Amino acid sequence: MPTQLDAAATLTHLAQSDPDIYQMIRSEEERQETTLEMIASENHTSPAVMEAVGSCLTNKYCEGYPTKRYYSGCTYYDAVEQLAIDRAKKLFNCQFANVQPHSGASANTAVFFALLEPGDVYASIVLSEGGHLTHGSPVNLSGKWFKPVHYPLVYDEKRPDWGHIDYDAVRALCLQHKPKLLICGYSAYSRIIDFPRFRAIADECGALLMADIAHIAGLVAAGVHPSPFPHCHVVTTTTHKTLRGPRGGLIMTNDPDLATKIDKAVFPGTQGGPLMHVIAGKAVCFGEALRPSFKDYAKQIVANAKVLAAELTAKGYGIISGGTDNHLILLDLRKTDKELTGKAAALWLEQAGIITNKNTVPKEDRTPFVTSGLRLGTPALTTRGLREPQIRQVADLIHRTLASRGDEKTIAVVRADVAELARQFPMAH
| % of the chain beyond a pLDDT of 70 | 98
Identify the CA nearest to 330 among candidates 365, 366, 358.
358
Radius of gyration of the CA atoms of the chain, in A = 22
Asked whether the predicted pLDDT for residue 147 surpasses 90, the reply is: yes
| % of the chain beyond a pLDDT of 90 | 96
Residue 212 falls in the annotated catalytic set: yes
> For residue range 349-382, what is the model confidence (pLDDT) as tens digits?
999 999 999 999 999 999 999 999 999 999 999 9
Identify the CA nearest to 36 among candidates 292, 349, 250.
349
- Bridge partners (DSSP) of residue 331 are 319, 374
> For residue range 15-63, what is the model confidence (pLDDT) as tens digits?
999 999 999 999 999 999 999 999 999 999 999 999 999 999 999 999 9
Mean pLDDT of 225-248: 98
Question: What's the confidence (pLDDT) of residue 64?
Answer: 98
Which residue out of 37, 81, 212, 364 is catalytically annotated? Answer: 212
Residue 63 falls in the annotated catalytic set: yes
Find out whether the peptide bond into 230 is cis, omega within 30 degrees of 0: yes
Question: Can you say how many angstroms the Cα of residue 72 is from the centroid of all Cα atoms in its chain?
Answer: 35
Residue 365 falls in the annotated catalytic set: no
Which residue out of 45, 238, 239, 371 is catalytically annotated? Answer: 238
pLDDT band at 183 (very low <50, low <70, confident <90, very high): very high
Identify the CA nearest to 419 among candidates 31, 123, 27, 26.
31
Question: What's the confidence (pLDDT) of residue 10?
Answer: 76
Q: What is the value of pTM for the model shown?
A: 0.96
Residue 247 falls in the annotated catalytic set: yes
Asked whether the predicted pLDDT for residue 7 surpasses 80, the reply is: no
Residue 191 falls in the annotated catalytic set: no
Residue 306 falls in the annotated catalytic set: no
- Please state, rounded to an integer, the average pLDDT across all residues of the chain: 96
| Burial group, residue 47, by CB count within 10 angstroms (0-12, 13-18, 19+) | middle
- Bridge partners (DSSP) of residue 359 are 373
Find out whether the peptide bond into 47 is cis, omega within 30 degrees of 0: no
Which residue out of 26, 191, 244, 247 is catalytically annotated? Answer: 247
Taking a C-beta distance cutoff of 8 angstroms, is the pair 336, 361 a contact? no
Query: SS3 of 306, please?
Result: helix
Which residue out of 69, 180, 241, 244 is catalytically annotated? Answer: 241
Which residue out of 3, 34, 61, 387 is catalytically annotated? Answer: 61
Distances (CA, A) of 52 to 49, 245, 285, 320, 323: 5, 11, 10, 39, 37
Task: Catalogue all structural domains in the chain, each as residue range(s) with its CATH number.
Answer: 56-289 (3.40.640.10), 300-423 (3.90.1150.10)
Asked whether the predicted pLDDT for residue 429 surpasses 80, the reply is: no
Mean pLDDT of 119-139: 96
